[in-house]
Chains A and B, each alone.
Chain A
Amino acid sequence: MISLLAAHRPTDWNFPLFVHVLGAMVLVGGLLAGASLITYARGDVRFLRFGYWTLLFVAFPAYIVMRIGAQWIYSKEPYSDLPAGVDDPTWIGIGFIVADLGALLVLIALIVGGIGVRRLNGGGGQGLLKAAMVIAWLVLAAALVAVWAMAGKPD
């Protein structure tokens, strides 16, 4: 599989793949940084806010870049115009599920966390930010499963 892939990937797939992989890497980093900052905040409002802003301004834009790259390279793959009734390979299915469900979860985390950040000034909101943190860790774990699937391409 690996040698086949290396030998046969058309060169015009490289840039979309680069966009996809770079976006995914920064997404994983943004989720890791944001979730870690909230995890280790121990009630420090500055850390809680910074963790949330990291999710909003690093992880979220990176998700968009990753998803654009994914669709771009998918449009070049032979799987994009399979006949009716023929499914995508499992690894692409895993990628779509993680990306689409991940998008929904990231949006929920940003909304819940955003409300939490607004409430920090009044002394509340920490529970909501912890909920956002849990979601971020979940999306991060799912993203790592997707990386495994993209690389190993299980049948």
Chain B
Amino acid sequence: MSFDDWILALHLLSAFAYVAGMVVFWVLIYAVRRTDTPDGTIRMAPVVKVGTIGTGVGAVGTIVFGLWLTFSVGGYRIWNFWIIAAIVLWAIAGGIGGRTGKAYMEGMTKAQELEAGGQTGPNAELLALNRTQNGLLLHTAGSIAVLLLLIDMIWKPFA
């Protein structure tokens, strides 16, 4: 394997980490929609961390190794349409991902406040925060951006 082959492998592994992290968040979104207790919400924190690490490592790895390949592999240019499209989609997905995280952290923060106040039972306000429609829409939009990114990487339009 050449050095570029290794970089491509790391680029692809990063992409897998990114999508895997997003899948973890989809599973958590489904789970948290039925969760109305502080304990049940807080219990998800370690798995949230797994998803955050996946998307974080994936986002950094895809762009760093992807840009490396752009400049290193013959035939690729930074101004190629599919590469510009990939960078734009990556930025959009990252921006949306940050906002999604903030939307869902409101429920986690509320759960911590309730637990600190000694309230352990079901709470309607917590359930409403966990069922954030804004967060769901944002994660859907972020997932569509990542899906388009994958399509762009495979079809390489106007290459």
Where chain A touches its partner, the secondary structure class is helix
Residue ID in chain B nearest A62 by CB atoms: B23
Could you say which of A30, A147, A154 contacts B16, with CB atoms under 8 Å apart?
A147
- Per-residue interface assignment for chain A, residues 118 to 155, with 1 indicating a CB less than 8 Å from any chain B CB and 0 otherwise: 00000000000000000000000000100110111111
Count of chain A residues with a beta carbon within 8 Å of a chain B beta carbon = 39
With contacts defined as CB atoms under 8 Å apart, how many contacts are there between chain A and chain B in the complex?
113
B12, A150: Cβ atoms closer than 8 Å:
yes
- A1 is an interface residue with CB less than 8 A from chain B: yes
By the criterion CB–CB under 8 Å, are B74 and A3 in contact?
yes
Contact A14 B76 (CB under 8 A): no
Q: Is B61 an interface residue (CB 8 A)?
A: no
**Chain B contact residue count (CB 8 A cutoff):** 41
Q: Is B116 an interface residue (CB 8 A)?
A: no
**A37→B151 contact, CB < 8 A:** no
Task: Give residues of chain A (60-84) contacting chain B, Cβ–Cβ below 8 Å.
Answer: none
Q: Mark interface residues in A20-45 (1 if CB within 8 Å of B CB, else 0).
A: 01101110111011101100101010
Stretch at the interface among B1-9, B88-96, B103-111: B1-9
- Taking a contact as CB atoms closer than 8 A, the residue among A21, A30, A36, A153 that contacts B47 in the complex is A36
Cβ-neighbour of A50 out of B4, B31, B73 (below 8 A): B31
14 further interface pairs, Cβ-Cβ under 8 Å (given A32-B24, A152-B5): A2-B4, A6-B159, A11-B155, A25-B15, A25-B23, A26-B19, A29-B19, A29-B21, A29-B22, A37-B31, A40-B46, A147-B12, A147-B13, A148-B12
A-side residues, CB < 8 A to B, are: 1-3, 6-7, 11, 14, 17-18, 21-22, 24-26, 28-30, 32-34, 36-37, 40, 42, 44, 46-47, 50, 54, 58, 144, 147-148, 150-155
